[in-house]
Amino acid sequence: MKLKIEFFNKDLIDAIGSGVYDISIEANGKTKSLYIGESVFVLVRCAAHLYEFKKNPEYFGFDNENINNDSIIFKFSLVEAIYNKSDRKKREGVEISRCEPLSQSGINDRMKDIESKIIALREFLDNSEEN
């Protein structure tokens, strides 16, 4: 695994609490959300996502080729610190609709199947190379 990982570079302290987070990818200067979620403990939840990703890169649509691309940056960031659960869920839904994350189906925070995630990520990476 050669891609770079940014884990809450700007908001590590705020990510210790509750909120909505964004897991995104940057390639060739273009950024796209992979997954948007909410948690009472954002940092802990994202560490679990990172563990799943390391164990199985297909979890976010990566394959053997792009997992070793050192020009890709895999980013974790805090969208907003929100303590009230219903407010977090609402904001999460708004962000999913607005950003259309590559790994999510668009129905709440549900993930696509593995093959659909791989195809979506490949298309994003191919399109980011064209410009």
Residue 51: partners with Cβ closer than 8 Å, 6 or more residues away: none
DSSP label at residue 4: E
| Predicted local distance difference test score (pLDDT) of residue 1 | 78
pTM of this structure: 0.92
CA–CA distances in Å: residue 75 to residues 55, 87, 110, 130: 17, 24, 20, 22
pLDDT at 131 over 60: no
Half-sphere exposure of 69 (CA within 13 A, CB side): 19
DSSP for 79-113 reads EEE--SHHHHHHHHHHHHHHH--TTB-SSTTPBPP
The Cα–Cα gap between 38 and 41 comes to 9
Amino acid at the residue 130 = E
Alpha helices in the chain (DSSP H): 42-55, 85-99, 114-130
Percent of the chain with pLDDT over 70: 98
Q: What is the pLDDT of residues 66-115, one digit of tens each?
A: 898 889 999 999 999 999 999 999 999 999 999 999 999 877 678 899 99
The Cα–Cα gap between 4 and 86 comes to 33
Q: What is the pLDDT of residues 24-47, one digit of tens each?
A: 999 999 999 999 999 999 999 999
C-alpha 32: how far from chain center: 8
Q: What is the pLDDT of residues 49-70, one digit of tens each?
A: 999 999 999 999 999 888 988 8
